[in-house]
Amino acid sequence: MLCTVLNCAADDQAAAQVAGAAVGKCGSDDAGIAEHEKAAAVVSYITATIANTTVSSNVGYGCDGIVSLSDMTLSNSTVAFNMSSSTLQPGRDVAGVCAAVAVTPQSSILAKNTRFVSGTGNVAADLSTTSGTTISGNNNLIMGTTAGTTAPGDTITLDPNLGPLHNSGGSTKIHAFNSNSPAAGVGNNLLRLASDQRGTGFARMTGEKTDIGAFQSGNGIFASGFE
């Protein structure tokens, strides 16, 4: 069984639980099946593809971005600014993406997700995997991984300079950035998406270039939200 989540925003007011074909009303600000202050925004129990999606600003005690308990592909998406206040078992001790099986990020941003460590404070926690998890994919920006997790070899680790989470012309919230971001123009569009997360009128590619993440710059709206 395969489930696809497309053009979705799962933030502090929105969530999706990927189980069978049910994804709730993901895509609107009041979407929600599984999200609480103690739960992840997106939980995948089956083989899933998540594309053109932003998961941001969730806060809780475990993995508060995406928990993947089966094979998952994360394409052209942004997972950022999620916060965890607890260290749990390996594979779930991170605020961004917690993967227990095979995970394939493609042209995605995992950045500014943090977990609280007693005596240390907030530390980078963008991607965490259990022992033996297969990680593949290309053209990603992942700022920080937990011990024992190695991102694909071509991964960029620089700050993507994301703007605040807000509606940048579409119906769902997104983190915009300007053309000076290290995420600009170096992604891929293997899924041949026509638009970025915002939908019609916001092309997924600018010329022949694709940005990493759910947002495509060059569409008149930059990180500040103004033209």
In a domain, 138, yes or no: yes
- How many domains are there within the chain? 1
Helix (H, G, I), strand (E, B) or coil at 33: coil
In a domain, 116, yes or no: yes
In a domain, 167, yes or no: no
The pLDDT tens digits of the residues spanning 4-33 come to 555 565 554 444 433 322 233 233 232 222
HSE-up (13 A, CA, CB side) for residue 227:
3
pLDDT of 181 strictly over 90: yes
φ, ψ of residue 114 to 5 degrees: the values are -135, 155
**Domain of 47, in residue numbers:** 2-142
HSE-up (13 A, CA, CB side) for residue 210:
26
For residue 221, name the pLDDT band (cuts at 50, 70, 90). Answer: low
Q: How far is CA 50 from CA 40, 44, 147, 165, 181, in A?
A: 15, 10, 25, 19, 23
In a domain, 117, yes or no: yes
Integer Cα distance of 198 and 214 in angstroms = 8
Of 105, 128, 129, 112, which is closest to residue 51 (Cα–Cα)? 105
Query: Is residue 86 within 8 Å of 110, Cβ to Cβ?
Result: no
* Sequential DSSP letters for 59-125: EESS--SEEESS-EEEES-EEES-EE----STTSS-SSEEESS-EEEES-EEES-EEEETTTEEEE-
In a domain, 105, yes or no: yes
Share of the chain above pLDDT 90, in %: 38
In a domain, 197, yes or no: no
Integer Cα distance of 80 and 181 in angstroms = 15
The pLDDT tens digits of the residues spanning 104-158 come to 999 999 999 988 777 776 777 899 887 778 899 999 999 998 878 889 999 999 9
Please state the rounded mean pLDDT for residues 189-194: 96
| Residues in the chain, total | 227
Integer Cα distance of 224 and 227 in angstroms = 8
In a domain, 107, yes or no: yes
pLDDT score of 215? 96
